[in-house]
A and B are shown apart, each in its own frame.
Chain A
Amino acid sequence: MSLVALSELLGATVRDASGAVRGRVREVAIAPQEHPTRIAFLIVGAPDGERVLPASWLKTCGATVRADGDASQWEKYAASDGVLLLKRDLLDQQIIDVHGRKVVRVNDVELDSSLVNSHVNIDVIAVDVGSRGAIRRLMQGVVPAFTMRALLEKIPPRVIPWQYVDLLETDPARRVKLKIVYEGLSKLHPADIANIIEDLPPAEREAVFETIDEEVAAEALEELDPKVQVSLVESLDSDRAADIVNEMDPDAAADLLEKLPEARSGQILKEMEPEERIEVAQLLEFGKHTAAGRMTTEFVSVRDNGSVADAIEALKQFEGSREAVATIYLYSVSYKLTGAVPLVKIAISPPATPLGELREDAATCLPDTPDDEVTGLFDKYNLVTLAVVDEHERLAGIITADDVITMLRHAN
């Protein structure tokens, strides 16, 4: 096992079995289809053009690269989309550091070569994003190798292990070939994903959003800065945009569509699932700065003659946002809102307890209640959720505390 930096390997002289120098290393390639970390071949700049040196022929790897066989057997290099070229695609480029949850630039790549059955396997183990890689790149060839080694040893490394690296590639076909799926990124909190997205250039934002799962994309989209949100949705094709908007909270979806040009939002609405479309379209009808414009139509409600077990069943079926489940609403036989039960009470009561025993009065407002009155109600009654009821006293939707925080921040 020995570590070698990509910048050391690039430009290294290459000798074949005869011992003669046949060229210099131009590129180092991984074929992700075959192995996610293993070097598949080197591209050697030979006097007669670029040649492919398969990694399985390598005997040693470092300042000098020695290979089996004769240089005449090395095939001519033909460009291919399916390989990751470490110098072109990784060195000096931006990547997503999934562990550190940010976008960083690659200063160098750390490779590990190990001897297996008399030939070497080289694997990418980490990318260097710290000053050690930077200084190596800067000083290489300028100061003698031993001075550099002594210098670099003094600098603490700042590396990101390869499994935490998500590559950025804007060409969709190439993303598939290189197996870039943003698995690590998708597991982050939506707010962190949003932060990362905001740090990326537009084409890269689009690339990430086209690739990640719709549900994750929807949650991240809700957290994005409104300006970025709009430009991102405008750049996606309406098919994909509709898929993502489908998964959003109806109130967030309505907010977003409202900011888009009419033609565009119409297109997206048309391609959404009928159920979500109706909800979002209804929200779009209401004034933006009223309770109805702020509310979500996804809430948990059960008949007021039910039991705790019924409420738990309803919670299990519920697909809306986590904030909305803080209160379980009760309705009468004529669908009128008759009260509310906080989630805590459900959690600590035996399943057979009738909900009537746990009932509290629900705080309510009308659909046309303006923003400032809504925030006033939250403040006065220390609410977590507020019910919005229509003229028949039926529950039309709810406003959650996180909506109020957004309202207050935007009001400033």
Chain B
Amino acid sequence: MKSLRSLLKSWKIRLALVLAVIGPGFITANVDNDAGGIFTYSQSGAQFGYTLLWTMIPITIALIVVQEMSARLGAVTGKGLSDLIREEFGFRLTFIVMVTLVITNFGNVVTEFAGIASSLELFGWSKYLVVPVCAFVVWAMVVRGTYATIEKIFLTASAFYICYIIAGVLAHPNWKAAAFATVTRPEAAGMRNYGYLYMVIALVGTTIAPWMQFYLQASVVEKGITAKQYRASRWDVILGCVFTDVVAWFIIVACAATLYANGHHNIANASDAAQALRPFAGEYAYLLFAAGLFNASLFAASILPISTAYAVCEGLGFESGLDKKFHEAPVFYWLYTILIVLGAAVVLIPRLPLVYVSVLSQVVNGIVLPFVLVFMLLLTNDRELMGDHVNGRGFNAVAWTTVIVVVGMALLMIFFH
């Protein structure tokens, strides 16, 4: 009896331990499948069919390595990424990184509101009404501190992504071709094609977005995960990354098997993208897609502006925190507010091509990524900072390769433009 109880207790403790650390990595991964992600993966499948599936394995490996570095930096130092950049590289570089981050993340915020606008347009609701309302809801929800409760709802609703997996299966894709395309080498001809490079960089940028590194590291610190508990956290990160990319793979396959196969090569709006869910949901595809896109967009819209405001204020030394009053942390609140207000305002521009803008913002993510990565690499290799937790050789190889390949592709893209 006693042994049973102790067994139960140790089992409970272990479960509690896993539940306690599961979170930051998985949540970040879920937010990663935001409006920008859904549009980019869909467009990639519609435009190129299975052709770009080869990117998924390298991107997943790079994503795991990069996210693991963020989580490790947070757990070992107990500091945010912008804090570390400031302390190790001084004010001027930090300022440049922060300005870049604000611009890049602004593009992402616009994308989230584009996701909100286009998902609700499927219900026939005007964006001029819903976007301002949602912007206000997001703003108030975060400032009022109700976000923590709502996060669980968002997370649960993220189960919507499973629809893509089912839709992908029901669309009867050519499994053999899809599998082959996933493990095959990219064609050299693609590297001379502007549209091809543009889409590959968008795929990299949307999956390994720069904001994720700041957000994940901050969440790890916020959760108080230390170097000792880090082992369990690593699994949370890996699981999250794999989940993100399995979903991404199925979105591409679903769009390739439906849109691309039917000669529908360009996604102009959300209703085009929703077609991919038709094999699974039939007439209800619109409904399902709209609900899923709306959830993903609102989820990311409540995280991006606030995490940007935190990162910038911590790096540049402004007061920050929702426990402060508006006049105590004016830069923090203004930055947060302006990101939301302007982000929503851009989406209200009449006839703005929402999907095009969304994919463009992901290309910007991709171009900025290598610069953030270089800072992270220098930090994770600093023995004075990381002690025994410095990067291993394999990690450095993968991360540096990512930097070089992305920079190289960006240069080629500009060259062939």
Interface 9-mer from B86-94, B151-159, B245-253, B368-376:
B86-94
Bound state CA distance, A218 and B226, in angstroms?
23
Assess whether A134 is in contact with B317, with CB atoms less than 8 Å apart: yes
Assess whether B90 is in contact with A107, with CB atoms less than 8 Å apart: no
Q: Contacts A201-B78, A227-B224, A231-B224 given: A137-B317 contact, CB under 8 Å?
A: no
Bound state CA distance, A129 and B316, in angstroms?
10
Which residues of B, 311-364, contact A by the 8 Å Cβ criterion? 316-317, 319
Q: Decide yes or no whether A202 CB sits under 8 A from chain B.
A: yes
CB-defined contacts of A208 to chain B, threshold 8 Å? none
Assess whether A202 is in contact with B226, with CB atoms less than 8 Å apart: yes
Interface residues in chain A, defined as those with a beta carbon under 8 Å from any beta carbon in chain B? 91-94, 102, 104-105, 107, 129, 134, 137-138, 201-204, 227-228, 231, 235
Assess whether A92 is in contact with B224, with CB atoms less than 8 Å apart: no
Q: Decide yes or no whether B79 CB sits under 8 A from chain A.
A: yes
Bound state CA distance, A93 and B87, in angstroms?
6
Q: B78 contacts which of A105, A129, A202 (Cβ < 8 Å)? A: A202
Closest B-chain residue to A230, C-beta based?
B224
**What would 16 A/B residue contacts be, using CB atoms closer than 8 Å?**
A91-B90, A92-B87, A92-B90, A105-B317, A134-B95, A134-B316, A134-B317, A138-B92, A201-B77, A201-B83, A202-B78, A202-B224, A203-B77, A204-B78, A227-B224, A231-B226
Assess whether A105 is in contact with B86, with CB atoms less than 8 Å apart: yes
Closest A-chain residue to B317, C-beta based?
A105
CB-defined contacts of A204 to chain B, threshold 8 Å? 78
Assess whether A92 is in contact with B91, with CB atoms less than 8 Å apart: yes
CB-defined contacts of A105 to chain B, threshold 8 Å? 86, 317
Bound state CA distance, A30 and B16, in angstroms?
49
Assess whether A138 is in contact with B91, with CB atoms less than 8 Å apart: yes
Assess whether B317 is in contact with A129, with CB atoms less than 8 Å apart: yes
Assess whether A203 is in contact with B78, with CB atoms less than 8 Å apart: yes
Q: Decide yes or no whether B216 CB sits under 8 A from chain A.
A: no
Q: B221 contacts which of A93, A201, A228, A235 (Cβ < 8 Å)? A: A201
Which of B77, B91, B92 has the most chain A CB atoms closer than 10 A to its own CB? Answer: B91
Closest B-chain residue to A105, C-beta based?
B317
Assess whether A201 is in contact with B79, with CB atoms less than 8 Å apart: yes
Least distance between A159 CB and chain B CB atoms (Å): 13
Assess whether B91 is in contact with A107, with CB atoms less than 8 Å apart: yes
Bound state CA distance, A309 and B221, in angstroms?
55
Which residues of B, 266-319, contact A by the 8 Å Cβ criterion? 316-317, 319
Bound state CA distance, A158 and B77, in angstroms?
29
Extra A-B contacts (15), CB below 8 Å, given A92-B86, A94-B83, A107-B91: A91-B90, A92-B87, A92-B91, A102-B319, A104-B317, A105-B86, A105-B317, A129-B317, A134-B316, A201-B78, A201-B83, A201-B221, A203-B78, A204-B78, A228-B224
CB-defined contacts of A129 to chain B, threshold 8 Å? 317
Closest B-chain residue to A133, C-beta based?
B91
CB-defined contacts of A137 to chain B, threshold 8 Å? 90-92
CB-defined contacts of A203 to chain B, threshold 8 Å? 77-78
Which of A94, A107, A129 has the most chain B CB atoms closer than 10 A to its own CB? Answer: A94
Least distance between B323 CB and chain A CB atoms (Å): 9
CB-defined contacts of B224 to chain A, threshold 8 Å? 202, 227-228, 231
Bound state CA distance, A105 and B95, in angstroms?
14
CB-defined contacts of A104 to chain B, threshold 8 Å? 317
Least distance between A228 CB and chain B CB atoms (Å): 8
Q: Contacts A92-B87, A231-B224 given: A107-B78 contact, CB under 8 Å?
A: no
Bound state CA distance, A202 and B316, in angstroms?
21
Least distance between A231 CB and chain B CB atoms (Å): 5
CB-defined contacts of B77 to chain A, threshold 8 Å? 201, 203
CB-defined contacts of B221 to chain A, threshold 8 Å? 201
CB-defined contacts of A91 to chain B, threshold 8 Å? 90
CB-defined contacts of A228 to chain B, threshold 8 Å? 224
Closest B-chain residue to A202, C-beta based?
B78
CB-defined contacts of B91 to chain A, threshold 8 Å? 92, 107, 134, 137-138
Least distance between A265 CB and chain B CB atoms (Å): 16
CB-defined contacts of B87 to chain A, threshold 8 Å? 92-93
Least distance between B291 CB and chain A CB atoms (Å): 33
Bound state CA distance, A31 and B213, in angstroms?
39
Least distance between B74 CB and chain A CB atoms (Å): 10
Bound state CA distance, A201 and B221, in angstroms?
8
Closest B-chain residue to A198, C-beta based?
B323
Bound state CA distance, A94 and B79, in angstroms?
11
Which of B87, B95, B221, B319 has the most chain A CB atoms closer than 10 A to its own CB? Answer: B87
Least distance between A130 CB and chain B CB atoms (Å): 9
Bound state CA distance, A345 and B277, in angstroms?
79
Which of A102, A137, A235 has the most chain B CB atoms closer than 10 A to its own CB? Answer: A137
Bound state CA distance, A60 and B95, in angstroms?
32
Bound state CA distance, A94 and B83, in angstroms?
9
Bound state CA distance, A107 and B95, in angstroms?
12
Closest A-chain residue to B328, C-beta based?
A102
Least distance between A259 CB and chain B CB atoms (Å): 13
Which residues of B, 225-252, contact A by the 8 Å Cβ criterion? 226
Closest B-chain residue to A140, C-beta based?
B92
Closest A-chain residue to B90, C-beta based?
A92
Least distance between A206 CB and chain B CB atoms (Å): 10
Bound state CA distance, A28 and B83, in angstroms?
23
Least distance between B333 CB and chain A CB atoms (Å): 17
Assess whether A138 is in contact with B90, with CB atoms less than 8 Å apart: no
CB-defined contacts of B316 to chain A, threshold 8 Å? 134
Least distance between B254 CB and chain A CB atoms (Å): 43
CB-defined contacts of A107 to chain B, threshold 8 Å? 91, 317
Least distance between A258 CB and chain B CB atoms (Å): 16
CB-defined contacts of B319 to chain A, threshold 8 Å? 102
Closest B-chain residue to A195, C-beta based?
B323
Which of B77, B95, B316, B317 has the most chain A CB atoms closer than 10 A to its own CB? Answer: B317
Bound state CA distance, A310 and B268, in angstroms?
88
Bound state CA distance, A305 and B11, in angstroms?
59
Bound state CA distance, A134 and B316, in angstroms?
8
Least distance between B383 CB and chain A CB atoms (Å): 15
Which residues of B, 56-91, contact A by the 8 Å Cβ criterion? 77-79, 83, 86-87, 90-91
Least distance between B178 CB and chain A CB atoms (Å): 46
Bound state CA distance, A180 and B91, in angstroms?
25
Least distance between A136 CB and chain B CB atoms (Å): 9
Bound state CA distance, A102 and B78, in angstroms?
18
Bound state CA distance, A295 and B198, in angstroms?
67
Least distance between A169 CB and chain B CB atoms (Å): 13
CB-defined contacts of B92 to chain A, threshold 8 Å? 137-138
